[in-house]
Structure 1
Amino acid sequence: MEYQAKYITEDIKLSCYEDRFFKSDIMFEHHMLIWFISGETKIIRAEGTYLFKAGDIFLIPRNQLATIINYPKDGLPHKTVVMHLTTEWLRRFYAGLNVKPATANVQQIRHYTNHPLLESCLVSLIPYFEMKDLPGGIANLKITEAVTILRTIDADIDNLLANFEEPGKIDLVDYMERNFMFNLPLEKFGYLTGRSLTTFKRDFKKTFATTPQRWLTKKRLDLAHYEFVHKKKKPVDVCYEVGFENLSHFSFAFKKEFGYAPTELLASVI
Structure 2
Amino acid sequence: MDLDQPTVLLSGEVRIPLLGFGTWQITGPAAYEAVLAALDAGYRHIDTATMYGNEEEIGRAVAESGLRREDVFITTKLPPARVGREQETIEASLRALGTDHVDLWLLHWPPSNPADSIPVWREMLAARDEGLVRTVGVSNFSTAQIDELIQATEETPAVNQIRWSPSLYDRQRHRDHRDRGVVLEGYSPFKTSDLTDPVLVRIAAAHGVSPAQVVLRWHIDHEIVAIPKSVTPERIRTNADVFDFSLTAEEMRDIDALGGS
Asked if Structure 1 and Structure 2 have the same fold, meaning a TM-score greater than 0.5 normalized by the shorter chain, the answer is no
Higher share in helix: 2
Normalization by structure 2: what TM-score?
A: 0.25
Structure with more relative contact order (C-alpha pairs < 8 Å, separation 6 or more): 2
